[in-house]
Structure 1
Amino acid sequence: MIDVILPALPERELTLVSEETPQSPALTGHLTLGGPVSVPVTSELVTGDPGLLAFVEAETHTAVYHLLHCAITCAQEAPEPALHAINLDLTLSADIKRPPVSGPIAWSMAPHQLTGTADPSAPVRLGPRLGLRDDHHAPPAGERVCVEARRELRSDPGWEIRRTGTVPIGGTYRLVMVVRAPRGTVTWAAVAVGATVREGHTPHRFRAEIAHPVRLADRECAPPVDR
């Protein structure tokens, strides 16, 4: 197992538009998106762990791996209405020229489940087979989860952040995944952020689509192109 210190994330404040009535006032001043930033998982990165190094080298002819890092920060003094839930959704795709090669997937995700807060400055821990080490154990029966990974091992992964009776939405939530992609392809990660607020018992949903997908490049691929 190794600890990985990820680079700082560029941030942007989000403006989310209503999914129900686009002409309604947008949701602003609530959320900031950090990243996403991609770091390739190379032999040099995992050289301190013989097991991880062997795994990466065994996969070298078929797959490449990337650490994808992003964060959601909720404003300390956000205007009303209060957030009831947040969704961060990714769509992974690749320029596959030789089917039936399978596309990119979220190989591992962290946090998997949280019932409280976590230290966003703590290092990311890579365990066996490039699984992200999640030190947060499964919640006790009946305890509500406030952060949960969704759709691991698929091309449409994401996280849901929920307000619970004891834990409000607030602060920074760091979200990390290992992406497995076919060797020799250019892989993209498109990002969208949704938010749900309540007016009484009625939920209202808002969403922001990030304009430019993140490029996850195999070192054998051609230089980046506009997309």
Structure 2
Amino acid sequence: MIDVILPDLPERTLSLLSEETPRPAVPALTGRIVLGGPVSVPVTEELVGRDPDLSAFLAAEAHSADFHLLHCAVTCARDAPEPELHTINLDLTLSAEPVREGATAFQPVAWSMTPRQRTGETADTALSPAAHLGPRLGFLDGGRADPGARICLEARRELRSDPGWEIRHTQAARIGGTYRLAMVVRAPRGAVTRAAVAVGATVRDGHTLHRFREEIADPLPLIAPR
């Protein structure tokens, strides 16, 4: 196992547009959600060299795949005005294009994600500044919550090209504070890999849920080591 110190993140305040029709009926959700990142660094021999098992795994994959550590965060005010946030979704779309005409590339996937699940009792420790990488570049974060627990943060669609996280309002935990999120991406070696990000949210107004979404311009390129 190794501990990886996650980098600082540039932040942007989002203005999510209503997904309802007609859109002007509901004003944009502005200033309620701050997105940190995303930022990506390649997983290199230098990074994992302190762990012989991880080093051996990276060497075995080197002929076909590159790995990247992608980090992002969602921040919401704890004393935000009404209507309250009911859910937040951070969704990524991973894609890869061959650099040579006629070459093929498999689709990149979220190889491992953290946090996987959190309840109200563990939400404030969603992710520390250090991420723990274990065998086969899998995160060691405690795994799944106990059956029947109310989940307020959950990783979704691991091992797919459309991964993401959902943050939920529960009786035990309102949405608020900073949620630090990370994944290891497995991408085809020698391809141009990108990560597109979108943030969705719902707010509850009485018994009505209003849906909002913002697509982040310019997908993040995942730069492989040379």
TM-score norm. by structure 1 comes to 0.92
1:159 is matched with 165
Aligned with 1:107 (options 111, 124, 130): 111
How far did residue 79 of structure 1 move?
A: 2.5
Aligned match for 2:59, one of 54, 57, 60: 57
Count of paired positions: 219
Matched ranges for 1:135-214 at <5 A: 135=142, 137-214=143-220
Aligned residue in 2 for 1:123 = 130
Is residue 13 from structure 1 mapped to residue 13 from structure 2 by the alignment?
Answer: yes
Structure 1 counterpart of 2:131, which letter? V
Name whichever structure is richer in strand by fraction. 2
In 1, are the aligned partners of 2:42 and 2:225 still within 8 Å (CA)? no
Same amino acid, percent of matched pairs: 65
Q: Distance in 2 between matches of 1:138 and 1:180?
A: 22
Structure 2 unmatched runs, 5+: none
The structure in which a higher percent of residues are helix is: 2
Structure 1 residue runs without a partner (length 5+)? 221-227
| CA RMSD across the alignment | 1.4
| Contact residue 94 and residue 185 of structure 1 kept, 8 A | yes
User: Do 2:110 and 2:183's aligned partners in 1 also have CA atoms closer than 8 Å?
Assistant: yes
**Contact 1:185 1:217 (8 Å CA) reproduced:** no
CA distance in 2, matches of 1:22, 1:128: 47
CA distance in 1, matches of 2:147, 2:181: 24
CA contact (8 A) 1:12 1:32 kept: yes
Corresponding residue for 1:92? 94
TM-score normalised to structure 2 length: 0.93
Shift of 1:99: 5.4
Paired AA for residue 123 in structure 1 = A
The 10-residue stretch of structure 1 (196-205 or 104-113) with the greater mean CA deviation from structure 2: 196-205
1:10 deviates by 0.3
Residue 15 of structure 2 aligns to a residue whose secondary structure is coil
Partner residue in 1 for 2:4:
4
Sort the Cα spacing of 1:219 and 1:139 in 2 relative to 1 into closer, same or farther, 3 A.
Answer: closer
Q: Please say if 1:43 is aligned against 2:45.
A: yes
- Kindly provide the amino acid, as one letter, of the partner of residue 194 in structure 1: G
> CA offsets per residue over residues 174-223 of structure 1, 9 Å max, x none?
11000000000110000000000112211110001101111002235xxx
Verify the 8 A CA contact 1:29 1:78 in the aligned structure 2: no
